Chain A
Amino acid sequence: MGASVAGLTAAVTLRTEGYGGRLTLIGDEPHTPYNRPPLSKQILAGTWEPDRIKLRTNEELSALDARLLFGRSATGLDTDARRVVLDGGDSVSYDALVIATGVTPNSLPGAHHLAGVHLLRTLDDALALRADLRREPDVKVAVVGAGFLGSEAAAAARRMRLDVTMIDPRPVPMRRQFGDRIAALVGRLHKKNGVSMRCGTGVRRFFESGGRVTGLELTDGTLLDADVVVVAIGAAPAIGWLAGSGLELRNGVECDPTCRAAPGVYAAGDVASWHNNHFGCRMRLEHRLNATEQARAVAHNVLGENQPFAPVPYFWTDQYDAHIQAYGVFPADAELAVLHGELEGGHFVVAYGHRGRVVGVLGWNSPCELRKLRQLVVDRAPWASILPAPQAVWPGRHLSASLR
Chain B
Amino acid sequence: MQVTLHQDKCVASGQCVLAAQDVFDQRDEDGVAVLLDDRPPAELHDDVRHAAAVCPALAIALADQ
Chain A interface (Cβ within 8 Å of chain B)?
9, 12-13, 16, 35, 37, 55, 288-289, 292-293, 296, 314, 316, 318, 323, 325, 365-368, 370-371, 374
B56 in complex: contacting residue of A12, A16, A292, A296, CB < 8 Å: A292
Given contacts A37-B11, A314-B15, A325-B12, contact A371 B54 (CB under 8 A): no
CB distance from B16 to the nearest CB of A (A): 10
Residues in A neighbouring B17, C-beta threshold 8 A: 371
Given contacts A289-B13, A323-B12, contact A367 B31 (CB under 8 A): yes
A79 CA / B5 CA spacing, docked (Å): 43
Asked if B64 is at the interface of the complex by the 8 Å CB criterion, the answer is no
A367 lies within 8 A of B56 (CB): no
Residues in A neighbouring B58, C-beta threshold 8 A: 35, 55
B53 lies within 8 A of A368 (CB): no
CB distance from B25 to the nearest CB of A (A): 9
Q: Is the interface of B mostly helix, strand, loop or mixed?
A: loop
Shortest Cβ distance from B28 into A: residue: A368
30 examples of A-B residue contacts, CB within 8 angstroms: A13-B53, A16-B49, A35-B56, A35-B57, A35-B58, A37-B11, A55-B58, A289-B15, A289-B54, A289-B56, A292-B53, A292-B54, A292-B56, A316-B11, A316-B12, A325-B14, A365-B30, A366-B31, A367-B13, A367-B14, A367-B26, A367-B30, A367-B31, A368-B14, A368-B26, A368-B31, A371-B17, A371-B18, A371-B26, A374-B18
Q: A55-B58, A289-B13, A367-B13 are in contact. List 9 more A-B contacts (CB 8 A).
A: A16-B49, A35-B57, A293-B54, A314-B15, A323-B30, A367-B30, A368-B27, A370-B14, A371-B18
A292 CA / B51 CA spacing, docked (Å): 11
A314 lies within 8 A of B13 (CB): yes
A374 CA / B49 CA spacing, docked (Å): 22
CB distance from B11 to the nearest CB of A (A): 6
A374 CA / B17 CA spacing, docked (Å): 12
Interface size on B, residues (CB 8 A): 18
CB distance from B12 to the nearest CB of A (A): 4
Q: Tell me the residues in window 6-57 of chain B with beta carbons closer than 8 Å to chain A beta carbons.
A: 11-15, 17-18, 26-28, 30-31, 49, 53-54, 56-57
Given contacts A323-B30, A323-B31, contact A371 B14 (CB under 8 A): yes
Residues in B neighbouring A288, C-beta threshold 8 A: 56
A16 CA / B12 CA spacing, docked (Å): 26
Shortest Cβ distance from B55 into A: residue: A292
CB distance from A201 to the nearest CB of B (A): 33
Residues in A neighbouring B56, C-beta threshold 8 A: 35, 37, 288-289, 292, 316
Residues in B neighbouring A367, C-beta threshold 8 A: 12-14, 26, 30-31
Given contacts A367-B31, A368-B26, A368-B31, contact A318 B54 (CB under 8 A): no
